[in-house]
Structure 1
Amino acid sequence: MSKARQRIERSTYGPKEHGFPEVPIFGNYNTEIALNPLSVHAHEGFEICYLVKGHQYYTVFGKDYLLKSGDIYITKPEEKHSSGKQSQEKGELYWINILPKCGRKYIFGLKKEEADLLVGKLLGIKKRYFPASTELKNAFLVIHRLMLLSRSSLKHIALSNAFVHLILELLKCAAAKTTHEEENMNKVIQYIDEHIEENIRVPALASLMGLSSSWFKARFRKETGLPPAEYIMRKKVLKAREYLETGKGNVSDAAMKFGFSSSQHFATAFKRYNKQNPSFFLK
């Protein structure tokens, strides 16, 4: 076994292991190395991810979201999503897919009105991601432990209760108010996305949060895992790659569009994150 493989732990469980066809998959990975980007895909049901540790980028409907340790991320049925062109970062993640209905069976053995209520509440969640409570974190851990047990009637009952408990805790977390500081950090991330072609200055970002530059840098790194300047550079390179791949211009055009001082500066930064020269991605 290679050294890289030794640093990746991954486990997935399907209906065969747990006896719930409304849950096509429950999985967990723990990796010390970055994984390949997650390609664009969609699910018949809900996908709920819990990032135990690390940082992770997701893209839905062309909008980027940055998750940090302890965050929940949710996509609804048939919503196309991916990690964009960015690698799945090192860290630990749980995910679960839940079908709104499976044949004539209502989810988790609930009555029709109960199942419809839960599914309706899930569809009504407005937030794409939010912090997980301790109870919600424990719900994922309990399900994982139950998956390791041999199939039995008692295991089936315990899993049914655990799945319902997870959804109820998820709904509580989704309904919780976002703190003022979280709202401001979201504004900073959005500002960077909307002004990525410009020369973005750290003091301008710090002012959005009402912090000094030094405090802002520390807070930003804690939230994203990166210093502001490197985060901005990564985003510029990512958008430049998309620009080249879609045939919108040449290398010089991309360097100018995204605010690099020269084509050489652009090429050096680009190769640092993509392991290839910009010309490799020209359409």
Structure 2
Amino acid sequence: MDNHVLLTNYLSNLKVDLFMADYNLCGRDWRDLDYTPDYSKFYFICDGEGWLKIGDREYYPKPGQLFLMPEGVNQSYSCISDQPFEKYWCHFSAKVGDINLFNMIELSHVCREVDPHVIQEIFSSLTSHMKSDKVYAHLLAKSKLMELFSYFIMNIDVDEITFKNLSSIEKLTKILTYIDAHIERNITIHELAEIAYMHPNYFIRLFKQQIGVPPIQYITRKKITKAKELLRSTQRSVGEIAHDLGFSDLYYFSKQFKKNVGQSPSEFRQGTVVLK
């Protein structure tokens, strides 16, 4: 297991909240220096010229580029000519559990190789939903923000993503590997905390902060994923599968399966082709 697995867990538990979004022509007085926002931003440059500084890196964005400006990072921006930016933009938060995603990982600030028609369509829908008074509009706008964030991740080099708090990440990577290798056992918090050399209460807090869900919930999800695999690929009974995955109570297994999958184990099996 490598950091790709940890990144997958972060992103699968990502929660976003959209605050503002619009399309506008920046004025010639568009300028702010050395401020640290408590929200993150996406800029999609459509035309014009300008200057951005994110942390200690300076950029002169070109039309067609998508920029990420993370929460909690010192920033500056200004107009630099008689042709200021025309841009789509949005302000948002991105968290895993209660932790700002950008306190956990450092991403590239710019996604240069994008299809401008795709980004423009996403932003156009996003801003339209934000301005709508429909009761479901903000939900649709958030879904477009998730689509935009996914597109950004898809089009950067994930191997260049920097993980912060490496000592904690190394411990969690070891824990996730252990869970995968022993998923058919009844894994306890105590044994996981011992592997991480932590007090169980501190371990639970750290796991939830970094992964987004408590360890028992994560283990249950992994067991259900394994159960789905076994229901598809074997003819073992539901009771046998539950027992082999450490569930002593068939009713509890079925309840957890339906909670995570939306179907009972038997209904799920009937909807799949069993390999013989």
Bin of the TM-score, shorter chain as denominator length: 0.3 to 0.5
TM-score by length of 2: 0.45
**Max Rg structure:** 2
TM-score by length of 1: 0.44
